């Protein structure tokens, strides 16, 4: 097989995070001592690709970093994992996207403050068609919408399935939606996009309006809900000792792509993705708890689940 072939190509965000752990998140105007501080590699697409890579898939990242210490840290993290970086660019004079993440030690929930240098945006003219068409799946977060549309169009024409993790209603993102096969959005994205907070109605709308193969949403600790082949599949989340919820959705998407390319049934793919996401929450950082397949399977066999009756099949 040519060296340019990969299983998954991802176009989207990477970030270098400063993670602050506090006993509990203070009220507005309050103070709280920091219990621990660390630098962690993250970003929606970059973390999903690292998950795929650790599960045995070959991955390629398309994106940009600045020529600063944070950018070098991010690139080193991806190189160690074996991610193909030939289409990753370093922008002179730009600052790498950063996140300052405050983790509430009592609950494991995180609050994110972030910024991204405008010079890190990927333009459509900077894409290479062979980078997309030589993969078995394309993963997007929709951040650079015009570039995402072009990449998804190439993927569609090459028969490459498009997976998307959307959590922000970016300008013109509606033009990307018809090109997505598997949309597993955040729980907030679809209500904001459609103006409807009923999860069943919005998934039905996305399937009808945009002809998506599988529209769905992640639900935090409650798991995930997907409309698949005319049925709503609800997969409850697993009960774990939560340390940090950062990156759970990103790891979910990496695991979802792994299940998709492995040819698993959708229900099994969702259960596995929830298990991987849950296990990632047991350690600090976006990639701190990425588990092996066997660990996720063990949790699937023996773990308890957060069943929310509101999402059971309609």
Instruction: Name all domains of the chain by residue range, CATH numbers in brackets.
Output: 8-13+44-63+125-311 (3.40.1190.20)
Region 83-90: mean pLDDT is 98
pLDDT in tens, 226-266: 999 999 999 999 999 999 999 999 999 999 999 999 999 99
Per-residue confidence band for 307, with pLDDT thresholds at 50, 70 and 90: very high
Q: Evaluate if residue 48 carries a pLDDT over 50.
A: yes
The rounded distance, in Å, linking the Cα atoms of 11 and 144 is 9
Q: What percent of the chain has pLDDT over 90?
A: 97
State the pLDDT at residue 314. Answer: 55
Per-residue confidence band for 184, with pLDDT thresholds at 50, 70 and 90: very high
Per-residue confidence band for 312, with pLDDT thresholds at 50, 70 and 90: confident
Give the pTM. Answer: 0.96
Least confident range from 57-61, 248-252, 309-313: namely 309-313
CA-wise closest residue to 144 among 162, 113, 119: 119
Distance set, CA 208 to CA 136, 227, 268, 298 (Å)? 25, 11, 25, 37
Question: What are the residues facing 140 on neighbouring strands?
Answer: 11, 164
Cα dihedral 261, 287, 44, 47 sign: negative
Per-residue confidence band for 1, with pLDDT thresholds at 50, 70 and 90: very low
Question: What are the residues facing 41 on neighbouring strands?
Answer: 16
Region 141-162: mean pLDDT is 97
State the pLDDT at residue 2. Answer: 41
Question: What are the residues facing 162 on neighbouring strands?
Answer: 138
| 314 vs 9 pLDDT, higher one | 9
Q: Evaluate if residue 273 carries a pLDDT over 70.
A: yes
pLDDT in tens, 95-124: 999 999 999 999 999 999 999 999 999 999
pLDDT in tens, 15-39: 999 999 999 999 999 999 999 999 9
- In the Cβ-directed half-sphere of 182, how many Cα atoms lie within 13 Å? 22
For the chain, give the mean pLDDT: 96
């Amino acid at each position: 097989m040519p060296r340019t072939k990969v299983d998954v190509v991802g176009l989207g965000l990477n970030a270098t995070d400063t993670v602050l752990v506090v006993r509990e998140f203070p009220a507005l105007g309050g103070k709280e001592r920091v219990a621990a501080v660390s630098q962690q590699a993250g970003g929606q697409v970059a973390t999903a690709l690292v998950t795929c890579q650790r599960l045995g898939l070959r991955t390629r990242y398309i994106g940009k970093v600045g020529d600063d210490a944070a950018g070098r840290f991010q690139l080193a993290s991806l190189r160690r994992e074996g991610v193909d970086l030939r289409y990753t660019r370093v922008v002179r004079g730009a600052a790498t996207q950063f996140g300052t993440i405050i983790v509430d030690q009592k609950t494991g929930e995180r609050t994110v403050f972030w910024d991204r240098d405008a010079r890190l945006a990927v333009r459509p003219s900077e894409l290479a068609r062979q980078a997309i068409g030589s993969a078995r799946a394309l993963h997007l977060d929709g951040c650079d919408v015009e570039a995402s549309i072009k990449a998804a169009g190439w993927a569609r024409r090459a028969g490459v399935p498009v997976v998307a993790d959307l959590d922000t209603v970016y300008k013109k993102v509606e033009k990307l939606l018809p090109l997505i096969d598997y949309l597993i959005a955040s729980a907030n994205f679809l209500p904001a996009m459609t103006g409807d907070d009923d999860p069943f109605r919005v998934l039905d709308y996305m399937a009808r309006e945009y002809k998506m193969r599988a529209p769905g949403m992640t639900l935090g600790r409650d798991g995930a809900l997907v409309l698949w082949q005319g049925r709503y599949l609800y997969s409850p989340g697993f009960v774990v000792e939560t340390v940090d919820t950062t990156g759970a959705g990103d790891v979910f998407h990496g695991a979802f792509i792994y299940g998709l390319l492995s040819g698993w049934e959708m229900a099994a793919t969702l259960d596995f993705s929830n298990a991987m996401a849950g296990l990632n929450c047991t350690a600090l950082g976006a990639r701190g708890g990425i588990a092996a397949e066997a660990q996720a399977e063990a949790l699937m066999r023996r773990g308890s689940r957060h069943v929310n009756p509101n999402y059971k099949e309609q």
